[in-house]
């Protein structure tokens, strides 16, 4: 699969794909005899993982470390698990903050709904 096809498939720019490969966010991509990137399904799996992890807020440095650990083999499983648990904790805190913000917004909206019905704005 060409870099253009992978870019479209995963919604990641070609420049970003090259950058990810250069800094180790994804392992080196397979190449044709002429040196062009030829993404295999395994390469695409790494691209998909990178997108998922970035969506989860994993910093590039941590993602690079995670990929390095994966490539080192099964002895690094505890370290990889620890890295993912740390990010899970960060996401859980962010989720709580978002939930609290949603509750606050819902409250404010309900106050405005009542004000539109009654003509008076009252904060409970």
CA–CA gap between residue 91 and residue 39 (Å, rounded): 31
pLDDT digits (tens, 9 = 90+) for 53-78: 998 888 999 999 999 999 999 999 99
CA–CA gap between residue 49 and residue 62 (Å, rounded): 13
Cβ partners under 8 Å of residue 39, min gap 6: 1, 2, 3, 5, 6, 29, 30, 47
Inter-residue contact 90 to 98 (CB < 8 Å) = no
Instruction: Categorize the per-residue pLDDT at 124 as very low, low, confident or very high, splitting at 50, 70 and 90.
Output: low
Domains, the chain, in order of start with CATH, read: 3-118 (1.10.1660.10)
């Amino acid at each position: 699969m060409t870099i253009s096809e992978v870019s479209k498939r995963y919604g990641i720019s070609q420049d970003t794909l090259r950058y990810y490969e250069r800094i180790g966010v994804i392992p080196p991509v397979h190449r044709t005899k002429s040196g062009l990137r030829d993404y295999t399904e395994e390469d695409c799996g790494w691209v998909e993982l990178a997108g998922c992890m970035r969506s989860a807020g994993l910093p590039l440095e941590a993602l690079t470390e995670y990929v390095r650990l994966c490539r080192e083999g099964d002895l690094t499983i505890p370290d990889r698990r620890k890295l993912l648990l740390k990010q899970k904790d960060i996401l859980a805190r962010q989720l709580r903050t978002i939930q609290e913000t949603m509750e606050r917004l819902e409250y404010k909206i309900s106050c405005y709904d009542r004000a539109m019905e009654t003509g008076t704005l009252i904060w409970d």
